[in-house]
């Protein structure tokens, strides 16, 4: 993310559903302190690492996401996400490509999981969402990897990327991290296609939600992600997230790290600008101009797409239309991923894509 505009309401805090926000762990200030200096001792918990029966049972008749496949993943069945009952992980390590309040100076401590409950045709992380690049990992081994990352890299938060199809394991790891003494904010980095029931379960285990809001166009969400109900599900999900955590709390000054709250992301799709304009209008009407919003121009065609426009990147004038609309609506807490070489070419520069077959997927190559 290259630029942040507007922070006039930085002191204002959440304006949406603060009913539950007070009940979460830690205030924003506390969260920031924790983010800077959370305990990084690897005091491994005395509790058992195994999934508690209740969490394990969530994999039977799986309803972890709104697909509600009803398969028994404990018996080796898999649903739309193509994952069974074993936790599978693609990468654990610092990532410097998130928004500044998450990346800070030492990176966001990401955990990427294999598989995905959305499986968008244009997925930017195709290797892990579709090709299952990754390996099985026990809870204790993932916990050790995370604790090592905290100690060695000093990451500012623990960022669970697309965790929803593994929520039972992720919930348990989140609990165990607390038992080690870590006070780093836990981030659930989500597609926006989550059920309210799962988010209610997540509430005590997470500080920051980072949801996408991909579509307002049902025909488009049906065609590209196989779920015509995405706009309705995402609206309910983001509403629940905001009721739990409020707006992201990192707007006091430009160097503030996020400790708690919600930041909504939207990636512009080439040739589908009306969808983006409508997404922004919907977010403004539902949550107001104080909603922290991240506008992303990074789309790159990873695999050949049936929708012709998706085989190119976003044009500069397409980006400008969406960006102008965000400014006209008056979003005050806006992160913008500006196209590079904005003035020298007709389309946004094809961005760097991670390669999850490498030990460090984000290393330059
Ligand atoms: S998590 Fe996977 S198996 Fe479970 S409901 Fe969602 S897509 Fe289906």
272 Cβ contact list (under 8 Å, min separation 6): 217, 220, 309
Please compute the mean of the pLDDT values over residues 242-258 and round it to a whole number. Answer: 86
263 lies in some domain: yes
Strand partners, 88: 136
Confidence check: pLDDT of 356 > 70 = no
Residue 295 has pLDDT above 80, yes or no: yes
Widest Cα–Cα separation across the chain? 58
How far is CA 215 from its chain centroid? 15
Distance CA 37, CA 288 (A): 33
Atom from ligand 1 closest to the CA of residue 82: 2
pLDDT score recorded for residue 18: 32
Number of domains in the chain: 1
Residue 14 within any structural domain of the chain: yes
Locate tokens 């995402």: which residue? 234
**pLDDT, tens digit, for every residue of 130-159?**
667 788 999 999 999 999 999 999 999 999
**Of 57, 59, 60, 64, best ligand 1 pocket probe by most atoms within 8 Å of the beta carbon:** 64
Q: What is the CATH number of the domain that holds 213?
A: 3.20.20.70
Tell me, what's the pLDDT at 14?
A: 30
Q: Which of 5-19, 155-169, 303-317 has the lowest mean pLDDT?
A: 5-19
Give 359's contacts (C-beta < 8 A, 6+ positions apart).
Answer: none
Let me know: does 182 contact 34? Beta carbons within 8 Å.
no
**Cα(142)–Cα(192) distance, rounded to whole angstroms?**
25
Determine the distance separating the centroid of ligand 1 and the alpha carbon of 61, expressed in angstroms: 9
Where is average pLDDT lowest: 42-46, 145-149, 296-300?
42-46
Please enumerate in sequence order all residues whose Cβ is within 8 A of that of 50, keeping only pairs 6 or more positions apart, or say none: 139
According to DSSP, the β-strands at 293-296 and 264-267 are parallel
Average pLDDT over residues 49-54: 88
**Rounded CA gap, 355 and 267, in Å?**
20
Q: Which atom of ligand 1 is nearest to the CA of 62?
A: 4
Ligand 1 atom closest to residue 70's alpha carbon, by position in its atom list: 5
Q: What is the mean pLDDT of residues 258-271?
A: 97
Q: Per the domain annotation, does 354 fall within a domain? A: no
Residue 165: name the closest of 86, 243, 240 by CA.
86
Residue 196 lies in a domain: yes
How long a stretch of residues is the chain? Answer: 365
How far apart CA 34 and CA 280 sit, in angstroms, is 32
Residue bearing tokens 């992201």: 248
CA of 143 to the centre of ligand 1 (A): 24
pLDDT over 90 (residue 238): yes
Residue 256: its pLDDT value, please?
87
DSSP 256: P
Tokens of 303: 């695999």
Average pLDDT over residues 281-292: 98
Average the pLDDT over 177-200 and give the result.
96
Q: Is 283 inside any structural domain?
A: yes
Which residue's alpha carbon is nearest to atom 2 within ligand 1? 81
Q: Which of 71, 80, 120 to mutate to test the pocket of ligand 1 (most atoms within 8 A of CB)?
A: 80
The answer to whether position 43 is within a domain reads no
Least confident of 25-39, 103-117, 120-134, 178-192: 25-39
Task: Answer whether residue 313 is part of any domain.
Answer: yes
Cα-to-centroid distance, 180 and ligand 1 (Å):
30
State which H helix or E strand residue 103 sits in.
helix 100-103
Please state the separation of Cα 106 from the chain's center in Å: 19
Cα of 166 vs centre of ligand 1, distance in Å, is: 9
Q: Could you tell me if 234 and 241 are in contact, meaning their C-beta atoms sit under 8 angstroms apart?
A: no
| CA angle, 205 then 207 then 210, to 5° | 110
φ/ψ (deg, to 5) at 111:
-125, 115
CA distances from residue 74 to 95, 141, 200 in whole angstroms, order as listed:
32, 20, 23
Residue 45 in domain: no
Residue 72 Cα to ligand 1 middle (Å): 10
What is the domain extent for residue 115? 3-36+56-336
Cα 195 to averaged position of ligand 1 atoms, centre (Å): 11
pLDDT at 302: 81
Nearest atom within ligand 1 for CA of residue 68: 5
Q: Which residues line ligand 1 (CB under 6 A)?
A: 62-65, 67-69, 71, 79-81, 117, 165
Q: Choose which residue among 117, 169, 193, 201 to substitute to test ligand 1 binding: the one with the highest number of ligand atoms within 8 A of its C-beta.
A: 117
For residues 116 and 131, is the Cβ–Cβ distance under 8 A? no
Find the mean pLDDT for residues 264-273: 97
Q: Are 265 and 156 in contact (CB under 8 A)?
A: no
Of 262, 268, 322, 254, the C-alpha closest to 290 is 262
Instruction: Report the alpha-carbon distance of residue 25 to residue 311 in Å, rounded.
Output: 44
Residue showing tokens 């190119």: 312
């Amino acid at each position: 993310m290259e630029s942040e505009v507007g922070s006039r309401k930085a002191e204002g805090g959440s304006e949406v559903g603060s009913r539950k926000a007070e009940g979460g762990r830690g205030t924003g200030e506390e969260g920031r302190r924790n983010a800077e200096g959370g305990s990084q001792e690897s005091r491994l918990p005395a509790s058992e690492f195994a999934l508690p029966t209740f969490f394990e049972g969530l994999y039977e008749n799986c309803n972890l996401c709104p697909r509600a496949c009803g398969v028994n993943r404990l018996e080796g069945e898999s649903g739309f996400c193509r994952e069974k009952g074993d936790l599978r992980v693609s990468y654990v390590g610092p990532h410097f490509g998130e928004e500044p309040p998450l990346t800070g100076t030492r990176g966001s401590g990401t955990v990427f999981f294999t598989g995905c409950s959305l499986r968008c045709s244009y997925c930017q992380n195709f290797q892990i969402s579709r090709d299952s690049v990754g390996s099985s990992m026990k809870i204790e081994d993932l916990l050790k990897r995370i604790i090592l990352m905290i100690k060695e890299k000093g990451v500012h938060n623990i960022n669970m990327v697309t965790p929803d199809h593994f929520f039972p394991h992720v919930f348990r790891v989140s609990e165990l991290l607390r038992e080690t003494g870590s006070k780093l904010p836990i981030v659930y980095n989500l597609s926006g296609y989550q059920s309210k029931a799962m988010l209610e379960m997540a509430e005590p285990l997470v500080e920051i939600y980072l949801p996408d809001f991909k579509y307002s166009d049902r025909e488009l969400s049906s065609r590209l992600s196989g779920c015509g109900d995405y706009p309705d599900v995402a609206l309910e999900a983001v509403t629940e997230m905001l009721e739990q955590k409020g707006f992201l709390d990192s707007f006091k000054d430009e160097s503030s790290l996020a400790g708690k709250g919600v930041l909504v992301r939207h990636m512009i799709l080439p040739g589908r600008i009306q969808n983006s304009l409508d997404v922004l209008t919907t977010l403004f009407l539902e949550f107001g101009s104080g909603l922290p919003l991240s506008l992303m121009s990074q789309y790159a065609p990873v695999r050949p797409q049936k929708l012709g426009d998706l085989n190119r990147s976003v044009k500069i004038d397409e980006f400008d239309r969406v960006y102008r609309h965000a400014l006209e609506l008056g979003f005050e807490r806006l992160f913008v991923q500006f196209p590079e070489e904005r003035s020298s070419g007709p389309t946004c520069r094809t961005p760097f894509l991670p390669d999850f077959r490498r030990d460090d997927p984000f290393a330059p190559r």
